[in-house]
Amino acid sequence: MAETAKEISKPLPEITPVNQPFWDGARAGKLMMQKCADCGTWVFCPRPVCGDCSSATLNWLQLSGKGKIFSFTVIREVVGHALRGFAPDIPYVTAWIDLDEGPRFCSNIIGCPVDKVKIDMDVQVVFEDGGNGVTLPKFKPR
Amino acid sequence: MSITRKTAVVGIGETPTDRLGGKPGEPRKSTAEYLAWAARLAMEDAGLTKKDFDGQGLAAIYTTNHSQPFWPEEVAAILGITPAVSLAGGNGGASSVSLLGHAAAAITAGLCDLVLVIAAAAPFSEHGGHRGATADTRDYEMPFGVMGPNCKISFVMSRYMHESGMTEEHFGKIAVTGRYHASLNPNAYLRKPITIEDYKKSRLISDPIRLLDCVLPANGGKAYIMTSAERAKSMRKPPVYLLGWGECNNASVGPRYRANPLITGITQAGKRAFEMSGVSHKDIRCLNLYDDYIPIVMIQIEDLGFCGRNDKGFFEKTDFTFKGDLPIQTSGGMINCGQPSTTGGMLHVIETVRQIRGEAGARQVPNIKFGISTGVGAVNYGKNFGCTAAAILGNEA
């Protein structure tokens, strides 16, 4: 039986002991990231040890969710079988967002026409249901 | 102990690239066939046979659909040789250039005096296989609809345009130059010349990346053979010596959680290669730069110090064709010759060797003594390449 676009699921993260606080936080409406207790650097994506000083003491902290668009693209085509669930959303924006506290985060810009998205635009996190109990932090202009 | 001027490339082999198996009913070839074919071509070029490689070095590059941990041994089994020194290329697209240095080190240290460096892939013919995404990509890119490298390099290109003011004219010029060279290269896959208008009209895939910015996936195999500078003198073809080499992995300009993606590890790898070689920029007559995407070629020209950062004027005034001021991508690059997974990058080693030997036919750079080849691999979360390498080759030891 042919599958319809509606039936095709999008890929979801694999929740692991290392990244679970991030995804638990998102479900509770909080953007959480790790900061090294020893050298003070932010660590993202989630890691068991600090990528700078190798400390295993990393604290989870809540971020403001405010940031600026560092760069972005408008997705015009599906590339790869695993991502065909995004076909109905095209065109949509993926962006690198530089969060006010420091880390760079990759997400979608929503609530804004694709041709109005600009580099350096101020954005704010919003939380969107991704299905299967996963909440995805996305961003809208502020 | 330095590896400069101690070794040379003495054999090159390149199968035709194709896209067989992309359509139903088309004939297919396996990775093993491309490996055997590329090895035979390189050995013929060097005047060697398989027997010469027993008890010598074999360097096999992992490709995206053959990344099982015993791959170098499987390659030896496919080729029917029994190596005494086994090297592996685990730097993705940078591997071919990385292995120039690793093979030279093994030879200079006396572990062996021949190394066969080889890679092949048949992504169109062999469906499936392992193409595992990293955890970062699986958990923090794919759920947001990031469409692989096209999308990730479009972040880099978009920011590059924002900071430098480069436009479609600048990118188009590089695309047109590459295709012009491909039109003069009988081994290229896309050979019909294009204009800047063709570039501008090519379809947007992931703004600002257009179809004509993108590399061309393909099936194929490539190989090269290195030996000591001493033994190279008595080989069939003129030796092309390794003069300078550098590698840099996990580069980060700025904090690791927010790195500048417009400056890559090629900056450091290139600096090491220039320092080791003692060759100056003005004497380099051919740049064969890893070209998964057009803007990456331009960023590497900046990284290597051939111009300043965001130097629009330089890109406007320079003639990059084979007879011009600074010839680049003289083979046409992977964008036009095809990219059989991580095998693709070997094109840039093979082309520099051809140019220095004087075997480049209609696209031969006049009076060339020195050339540079680069490789890059792995596009990391929120930044640019994880793996980078650069090598300077020349006709004198």
* B132 in contact with chain A, both atoms CB, cutoff 8 A: no
Q: Are B70 and B40 in contact (CB under 8 A)?
A: no
CB atoms within 10 A of CB B244: 26
User: Do residue A138 and residue A80 come from a single domain?
Assistant: yes
Given B139, B156, B162, which is nearest A13 (Cβ)? B139
CATH topology of domain B7-131+218-238: Peroxisomal Thiolase; Chain A, domain 1 (3.40.47)
Contact check, Cβ <8 Å, A72/B158: yes
Residue B345 to chain A, least CA–CA distance (Å): 22
- pLDDT for A2 beyond 70: no
Contact check, Cβ <8 Å, A103/B258: yes
Interface of A with B in 9-28 (CB under 8 A): 10-14, 16, 19
* B207 in contact with chain A, both atoms CB, cutoff 8 A: yes
- pLDDT for A3 beyond 60: no
Give 3-state DSSP helix, strand, coil % of chain A, rounded to 5: 15, 40, 45
User: Do residue A134 and residue A70 come from a single domain?
Assistant: yes
From 3.40.50.10090, 3.40.50.10420, 3.40.47.10, 3.90.1150.10, which CATH number describes the B145-216+241-394 domain? 3.40.47.10
| Domain's final residue, options A63, A79, A94 | A63
Contact check, Cβ <8 Å, A74/B144: no
CA separation, residue B202 to residues A134, B154, B160, B293, B345 (Å): 38, 15, 20, 14, 25
Q: Supply the DSSP symbol for B310.
A: T
User: Do residue A78 and residue A130 come from a single domain?
Assistant: yes
Q: Tell me whether domains B7-131+218-238 and B145-216+241-394 share a fold.
A: yes
Residues of A in contact with B382 (CB under 8 A): 44, 96, 104-106
Residue B209 to chain A, least CA–CA distance (Å): 9
Residues of A in contact with B142 (CB under 8 A): 11, 82-83
| Domain's final residue, options A43, A63, A83 | A63
Given B145, B159, B255, which is nearest A83 (Cβ)? B145
Residues of B in contact with A76 (CB under 8 A): 203-207
For residue A129, tell me if it sits in a domain. Answer: yes
Residues 6+ apart with CB under 8 A from A7: none
Contact check, Cβ <8 Å, B142/A71: no
* B206 in contact with chain A, both atoms CB, cutoff 8 A: yes
For residue A3, tell me if it sits in a domain. Answer: no
Q: Are A18 and A50 in contact (CB under 8 A)?
A: no
User: Do residue A45 and residue A115 come from a single domain?
Assistant: no
CA separation, residue A76 to residues B56, B145, B313 (Å): 49, 11, 31
CB atoms within 10 A of CB B325: 11
Which one, of B378, B163, B341, B102, lies nearest residue B264 by Cα? B378
Domain boundaries, chain B: 7-131+218-238, 145-216+241-394
Residues of chain B with pLDDT under 50: none
Given B138, B255, B381, which is nearest A41 (Cβ)? B255
Here the tokens at position B377 are 């691999």
* Mean pLDDT of the region A130-137: 96
Contact check, Cβ <8 Å, A45/B139: yes
Pairwise CA distance, residues A81 & B201, whole Å: 27
CATH of the domain at A91: 2.40.50
User: Do residue A70 and residue A127 come from a single domain?
Assistant: yes
For residue A4, tell me if it sits in a domain. Answer: no
pLDDT mean across residues, chain A: 94
Number of structural domains (chain A) is 2
Query: What is the structure's pLDDT at B260?
Result: 96
Q: Residues A93-107: pLDDT tens digits? A: 999 999 999 999 999
Please name the residue of chain A whose CA is at the shortest distance from the CA of residue B128.
A81
User: Do residue A34 and residue A96 come from a single domain?
Assistant: no
Structural domain span for residue A77: 64-142
Query: What is the structure's pLDDT at A1?
Result: 42
Band (pLDDT 50/70/90 cuts) for residue A4 is low
Angle at A81 between CA A80 and CA A86, to 5 degrees: 85
User: Do residue A32 and residue A71 come from a single domain?
Assistant: no
Query: What is the structure's pLDDT at B27?
Result: 87
Please name the residue of chain A whose CA is at the shortest distance from the CA of residue B262.
A71
User: Do residue A40 and residue A98 come from a single domain?
Assistant: no
Contact check, Cβ <8 Å, B207/A105: no
User: Do residue A136 and residue A68 come from a single domain?
Assistant: yes
Q: Residues B355-375: pLDDT tens digits? A: 999 999 999 999 999 999 999
Given A80, A103, A108, which is nearest B144 (Cβ)? A108
User: Do residue A54 and residue A111 come from a single domain?
Assistant: no
User: Do residue A73 and residue A125 come from a single domain?
Assistant: yes
Q: Residues A10-68: pLDDT tens digits? A: 999 999 999 999 999 999 999 999 999 999 999 999 999 999 999 999 999 999 999 99
